[in-house]
Amino acid sequence: MQVKRSTKWSTLTLSSLSTAVCAALSTTLLTVAPVQAVHAQTTCAAAWNASTAYTQGNVVSESGVNYVANWWTQGNNPATNNGGSGTGEPWTSEGSCSGGSPTPTPTPAPTPTPTPAPTPTPSGSCDPAWNASTAYNGGALVSENGINYEANWWTQGNNPATNNGGSGTGEPWTEVGTCSGSPTPTPTPTPTPTPTPTPTPTPTPTPTPAPGGFVFSPYKDMSINMNWNTYAMATEVTGTAIPVVGSGGLYETQVPNLPAISLAFATGECGSESWAGVTPSEFISANITPGAANSLSSAGLNYIVSTGGQDGVFTCSSPSAFESFIAKYYTAQMIGVDFDIEGGQTQAEIQQLVADVAAAQSEYPNMRFSFTLATLGASDGSYGGVNSLGAEVVQAIQASSPALKNYTINLMTMDYGGTSASNCVVVNGACEMGQSAIQAVVNLQHTYGIPASHIELTPMIGQNDSGGEITTLADIDTITNYATANGLVGVHFWSLDRDTPCAAGSASSTCNSYPSVGILGYTNEVLKDIGK
């Protein structure tokens, strides 16, 4: 992560995409429904079922028409929620069909065809009242303060009265019109979505990767605004340089409910690593050692030691060296080690890091070990996700003996590299950053069978390095609410120093180029979404 991260998809070659597709086809770990692959046909596919989760490329039939899923969807009736590329609809019509066996899961007696949202009440009547705790799929209808709204996509906790807009606004709701009467107070009967049907279970139980389960820890680039006299971390996110922790610090005065922070980045060989030219002893003495004026430990702020990064490489040649590395930074507030792997490591070095973690997890059973990887959110049916380097990491984790238990795959849901369905979910001519993050999870699970309890997400707030990609507050709501509703174990972002507005333009390391969001707007939005 730099301004962040332009190494991306020039390295994702056609051959690596082919590898990901082949892996997806051979690793049949995920069964979502009795559906058929897309092919020329007039025979009806299996009937759509409101309670079934479908992934991109699945084909169903409804009322004599076949439909193909544009991305992950559940509860959205294809007969009323279909459209071509750029419409934002989850289904595309494949044309009329006949014959086949389009019968839903048999039941002793006929049941009405379920729909993902209530049928609109007669004109002018209010739909069921919006409920902040209910998850709504695209097409769901609700009312709030005498106005009916329709969900544009999956959303939860976003008040339609203050989060609505037409096509291209990025808002999760669209106003339908005024209404009258008493709305039904019960929540919209949309099933709470899951990112995919449960993958084939792994042979060993999945442990909680870190204390407290879900973790929110924005990345702090320690080299930005550091006090180079004391080596204490600082930030100018408020407009004035203040320490991250300590007297007058950001944590104490602005975000005392921040649960954790990711310290970026340690690079080099463990034991002789560097923090942007600062030695480990200098960095630890100023920022970690209990009793120091700017000690994370004394402040009670949990931290993750992050290694590598876009321009850095971290290696560790033995398990004993890695355990010494952990011990050097360890206090009761240290909850994890993060490996941001974006280039430079050999396959042998990656396998050694995995072996180091496998050995260390018994010594540190409550420690979280995250592997942060670049990803696509391909929505064209290829399930394109992590690149060839990321594939090496995932495969090394899955082949580890002893098995890794406390690991997570932290997907960098940013910088997709171009507005194309082969890279992201395209809505109204742009990568829709919230839905693309969800698609990245779906792709990872489809290809490698990684359970939700081992997945985290890291978007880049505001303007990404890739032009036209902007992560809005609505996207943050989509990402965070999806993560918490579906059992993911963390959300982070790049980066804390960028959580301040500035004029729109190219990406900056010290602001987010998104002028409509206030100081610490993204941090506070995630905190709100997770109930902090």
Rounded to 10 degrees, what is the CA torsion of 444, 446, 447, 450?
Answer: 60
Beta strands in 326-384 (DSSP E): 334-341, 368-374
Give the range with max mean pLDDT: 37-46, 101-110, 126-135.
126-135
User: What's the pLDDT band for 212 if we cut at 50, 70, 90?
Assistant: very low
HSE value, Cβ hemisphere, 13 Å, CA-based, for 27: 19
Spatial CB neighbours of 519, under 8 Å, sequence gap ≥ 6? 237, 238, 239, 499, 500, 501
Reported confidence tier of residue 99, pLDDT bands at 50, 70, 90: confident
Superfamily of segment(s) 215-529:
Glycosidases (3.20.20.80)
Q: Decide whether 29-96 matches 215-529 in CATH topology.
A: no
Least confident interval from 150-154, 252-256, 321-325, 466-470: 150-154
Distances (CA, A) of 96 to 44, 64, 512: 8, 6, 48
| Secondary structure (3-state) at 457 | strand
> What's the token pair of residue 274?
């560097």
In 366-447, at which residue ranges do the beta strands (DSSP E only) sit? 368-374, 407-413, 426-427, 430-431
Q: Which is it for the CA torsion 185, 165, 469, 255, positive or negative?
A: negative
Phi, psi of 260 (to 5 degrees): -165, 170
3-state SS assignment for residue 495? coil
300-335 burial, b if ≥16 CB within 10 A, otherwise e?
ebbbbbbbbbbebbbbbeebeebbebbeebeeebbb
Across residues 100-106, what is the average pLDDT?
48
In the block, which residue shows the tokens 């899961």? 105
Give yes or no for residue 210 having a pLDDT over 50. no
Looking at per-residue confidence, does 139 or 41 come out higher? 139
pLDDT value of position 16: 40
Specify whether the CB–CB gap between 49 and 33 falls below 8 A.
Answer: yes
Give the CA-trace dihedral at 96, 100, 103, 108, to 10 degrees. Answer: 150
Residue 13's pLDDT is: 36
How high does pLDDT run on average in the chain? 84
Query: What's the CA gap between 122 and 120, in Å, rounded?
Result: 7
Fold of the 29-96 domain: Seminal Fluid Protein  PDC-109 (Domain B) (2.10.10)
Which H helix or E strand runs over 309?
Answer: strand 302-309
> Would you say the pTM of this structure is higher than 0.85?
no
Backbone angles phi, psi at 498, to 5 degrees: -90, 0
For 193, the 3-state DSSP assignment is: coil
pLDDT tens-digit readout, 423-443: 999 999 999 999 999 999 999
Give DSSP secondary structure letters for 141-152: EEEETTEEEEES
106's enclosing H/E stretch is none
Rg of the chain in Å (alpha carbons): 24
Q: Tell the burial category of 434 from Cβ atoms under 10 Å away from its Cβ (0-12, 13-18, 19+).
A: buried
- Structure tokens, 225: 């605004």
- In this prediction, residue 184 carries a pLDDT of 56
Please give the C-alpha separations between residue 529 and each of 107, 195, 257, 485, 526, in angstroms, as whole numbers. 39, 18, 13, 11, 5
Instruction: Extract the tokens encoding 512.
Output: 């987010």
Architecture of the domain spanning 118-188: Ribbon (2.10)
- Per-domain residue ranges for the chain? 29-96, 118-188, 215-529
Sign of CA dihedral 134, 149, 518, 504: positive
Res 20 pLDDT > 80: no
